[in-house]
Each structure stands twice: as structure tokens, then as C-alpha cells.
Structure 1
Amino acid sequence: MARIQIITIITSLLFLLYISRLIIKGKLREEYAIVWCVCTGILVIFSFWRSGLEVMSKLFGVYEAPNPVFTACIFAILIYLLHLSVVASKLHQQNKQMAQDIALLKEKVYNTKKD
């Protein structure tokens, strides 16, 4: 086993442990942790399976092995950004609704104190 392969395996497994620790402490929600665990799992698989990148490149008909890695990373980032945009839009709508509810409650309290 090459030195870089050992370093990659150890780093990936440590990152997986760190993700687990963040989940246990409640600092990372499970829905986001799944994405991180899957990506780290893929890194672990390709760390053990050295020729895997060449096999996957040939399977998809790509001439250079690193190109599918960059393509997959860009695609994953775009999907993740889309997900975060949906979450941000939902939170914006919930904040707007909550502000309106608070305004109605304040008015109700103000009118109750007047009477």
C-alpha cells in the first residue's frame, strides 16, 4: 500500500469520526450528515480501491481519470446549493409568517390593555 493511500484512508476515517461526533453533539443535523457520510464513504472506497478511478473512467468513456472526479464534485456542489436555496426560501417564508403572527398578537395585547 502506498503512503498516500494510507494517508487518504486515515484522513477519510478521521473525517467520518468527526462527522459522527458533530451529529452526537447536535451541531450537525442528520439530513446534512447523510451527504457528508456518503461523500466520505466514496472517498474511503476509492482509497482502498486504487484502480477504481480508472475503471470508472473507462465505464463512462472518459479519457482522463481525474475528470469524472471534478465533474462529480461540481454536480454535487450544484445539487447541494439547490438544496440550501430551497431551505433558505422555506425559512424566509416561515420568518415572514412568524413576524405577521407576532404583529397580530402585539395588536391583540395592546387592544386588551386599552380596554
Structure 2
Amino acid sequence: MNGPQLVSLVSALAIMAMLFELLRRHRLREKYAVMWGVLSLAAIIGAVFPGLLTGAADLLGLQVPANLLFFLSIVVLLGLTLQLSYELGRTEDQIRTLAEEVALLRMEVERQHDNS
């Protein structure tokens, strides 16, 4: 195993260990942990079997396997960005709804207080 493979493997294993620690401490939700676990597992497989990337690049007709790696990385990052944007939109809607409910409850409490 050469230097870059070793660095990739150690990095992927470190991310996997950090993932389990975040899950253990309840700092990361399970639905995100699955996604990061799959990515870490793919990185480990890619580090242990670097010929897979070369074979896939040859199969797709790419001259440089790194181009496939960069393309896949961009697709994954775009997917993550889309997922997080969706979650952010849902959270903003929930926050707005809760703020409206709190305002209505506060108005009701003030009305009760004024009538007393």
C-alpha cells in the first residue's frame, strides 16, 4: 500500500470512528449518519482497492481516473447540498409556524391578564 492509499484509508477510518462517536453522544441524527457511513465505506473500499476506480474510469471511457473521482465527488456534494437545503426549508417553515403560535398564545395571555 503506497502513501496516498494509506492516507486515504486512515482518513476514512478516522471519519468512521468520529461518526460512531457522534452517534454515541447523540450529536448526529441517524439519517445523516447512514449517508456519511456509506461515503466513508466507499472511501475505505476505494483506498483498499484503487483498481476499482481505474476499472470504472476505463469502463466509462475516461482517460484519467481522477476525473471520475472528482465528478462523483461533485455529484455527492450537490446531493448533500440539495438535501440540506430541503431540510433547511422545512425547518424554516416549522420555526415560522411556531413563532406564529407563540405570538397567538402571548396575545391570549395578555388578553387574559388585562381582563383580570
Q: What is the TM-score when the length of structure 1 is the normalising length?
A: 0.91
What residue is the counterpart of 1:68 in the other structure?
A: 68
In structure 1, the residue matched to 2:102 is 102
Q: Residue 26 of structure 1 corresponds to which residue in structure 2?
A: 26
Structure-1 separation of matches of 2:57 and 2:112:
71
Unaligned 5+ residue runs, structure 1? none
Inter-partner Cα distance in structure 2 for 1:103 and 1:50: 58
In structure 2, give the amino acid aligned to 1:13: L
In structure 2, the residue matched to 1:48 is 48
Q: CA–CA distance in 2 between the matches of 1:109 and 1:74?
A: 52
Unmatched segments (≥5 aa) in structure 2: none
AA paired with 1:95?
I
Letter in 2 for 1:45: I
Q: 2:78 — aligned with what?
A: 78
Q: How many residues align?
A: 115
Q: What is aligned with 1:87? A: 87
> 2:78 aligns to what SS in structure 1?
helix
Q: CA deviation at 1:5?
A: 2.5
In 2, the alpha carbon distance for the partners of 1:104 and 1:87 equals: 26
The percentage of aligned residue pairs carrying the same residue is 24
Deviations 1:42-86 (A, max 9, x none): 111011112111101012221211001100111111111111111
CA RMSD of the aligned region, Å? 1.3
Task: Provide the secondary structure at the position in 1 that maps to 2:27.
Answer: coil
Q: Distance in 2 between matches of 1:15 and 1:84?
A: 20
- TM-score with structure 2 setting the length: 0.91
Task: Give the counterpart letter for 1:102 in structure 2.
Answer: V
Distance 1:80 1:11 in 2: 20
Query: In the TM superposition, what is the alpha-carbon distance from 1:6 to its structure 2 partner?
Result: 3.0
